[in-house]
Amino acid sequence: MRVAVYYRNDDIRLEEMPVPRIGGGELLLRVMMCGICGSDVMEWYRIRRAPRVLGHEAVGVVEEVGDGVERFSPGDRVFVSHHVPCNTCRRCLRGEHTACETLHRTNIDPGGFAEFARVPRINVDRGVFPLPPETTYEEGVFIEPLACVLRGQRRLGIRPGDTVLVLGSGVSGILHIQLARAFGAARVLATDINEYRLRAAERFGADAAIDARGDVSRLIRDANDGRPADHVIVSTAALPAIKQSLQCVDDAGRVLLFAPTPPGVELPLDLNDLWSRQLTLTTSYAAAPADLAAALDLIRARRVRVREMITHRLGLAETGRGFSLVAAAGESLKVVVEPQR
């Protein structure tokens, strides 16, 4: 089978690899579409394990089922989660499934940028979700990224009437904008330094899209009846945006650091200011099976518009171009790869 092998962001090679052989309890997935995630182009994170086949937003058709698999049959249309928790460790039992060591070790074989992928037994048990007939593959690739966004926003506790500020209007930022609105936010504001993405933020529901190179804290107040935001979501790894988040959040507000920075990045904090203003800083990583199920429901109900976010559909041989588009963060939003092309 053909696979797109990652060596570095500007070196994605189309290679041949044997079709994975499945065992008992496993599935063989014919990958029909896989999204390129912003984390796929975090070279500082990916290159240490190169070469490898990436791709974790995979949807497709069950090609073959192993002995003992009863819930799925060949021909079923499914979304497959690459990471799944054990559901039995202390962290899982406390509801912190994405801190589970098993979740960090699990994956599909070899990855979503391949014509076929083996789905291990544990993933089949708790990480495979049938796609409803009305849900397209284009919509299915958003299940995982939307689930990550959903898990992050649950940490904020957005309530009807709140103002939410999203710093960074890439794919995750646009999903945050839409989900905050679905959660009942009265006003959703967004920033970016890219004009294309500012216009996209407006198109997908932001009440105001603000150039992040300006006096953001003042502009936020101007757009929000003279006060800061109740919640700030940092959907970019840019250090200036992280600093802006503390300037733009209201007293007793919450800041979600959603995007990871490279190792070693430090942020000086005035701890007295943090204490006296009663601010909450939180982070979020990945998604649990319950988040994935909820994300699928949101997509199915069309409460979050995802299909229109796709700007580029590429064949497997064009995966390298897709990585370039995502890494450049220019005039693109969601880039998806169709391995059967």
pLDDT in tens, 139-165: 999 999 999 999 999 999 999 999 999
Does 91 share its domain with 223?
no
The pLDDT mean for the chain works out to 97
Q: Is 317 helix (H, G, I), strand (E, B) or coil?
A: helix
Cβ atoms 59, 34 nearer than 8 A: yes
Does 151 share its domain with 137?
no
Does 24 share its domain with 134?
yes
Which 8-state DSSP code applies to residue 307?
Answer: G
Q: How high is the pLDDT of residue 233?
A: 98
298 located within any domain: no
Q: How high is the pLDDT of residue 154?
A: 97
What is d(CA 34, CA 142) in angstroms, rounded to the nearest whole number? Answer: 9
**Nearest C-alpha neighbor of 36 from the set 331, 283, 322, 234:** 322
Q: How high is the pLDDT of residue 320?
A: 98
171 located within any domain: yes
299 located within any domain: no
What is d(CA 168, CA 248) in angstroms, rounded to the nearest whole number? Answer: 14
Q: How high is the pLDDT of residue 256?
A: 98
Burial class (CB in 10 A: 0-12, 13-18, 19+), 105: exposed
Does 154 share its domain with 129?
no
What is d(CA 16, CA 62) in angstroms, rounded to the nearest whole number? Answer: 21
Chain-centroid distance of CA 198 in Å reads 19
The CATH number covering residue 266 comes to: 3.40.50.720
Torsion of CA 196, 199, 201, 204, to 10 degrees: -120
Does 43 share its domain with 124?
yes
Q: Look up the domain containing 152 and give its range.
A: 147-283
Does 103 share its domain with 176?
no
Phi, psi for 175 (deg, rounded to 5): -65, -40
Does 111 share its domain with 62?
yes
270 Cβ neighbours under 8 A, 6+ residues apart = none
Q: How many domains, the chain?
A: 2
205 located within any domain: yes
Q: Which amino acid is at 162?
A: D
Does 65 share its domain with 120?
yes
Q: How high is the pLDDT of residue 300?
A: 97
pTM (predicted TM-score):
0.97
Does 61 share its domain with 173?
no
**Nearest C-alpha neighbor of 7 from the set 51, 41, 54:** 51
Residue with tokens 């008992």: 24
Cβ atoms 30, 60 nearer than 8 A: yes
> 189 pLDDT band (50/70/90 cuts)?
very high
Does 262 share its domain with 332?
no
30 located within any domain: yes
Instruction: Reply yes or no: is the peptide bond before residue 51 cis, omega within 30 of 0.
Output: yes
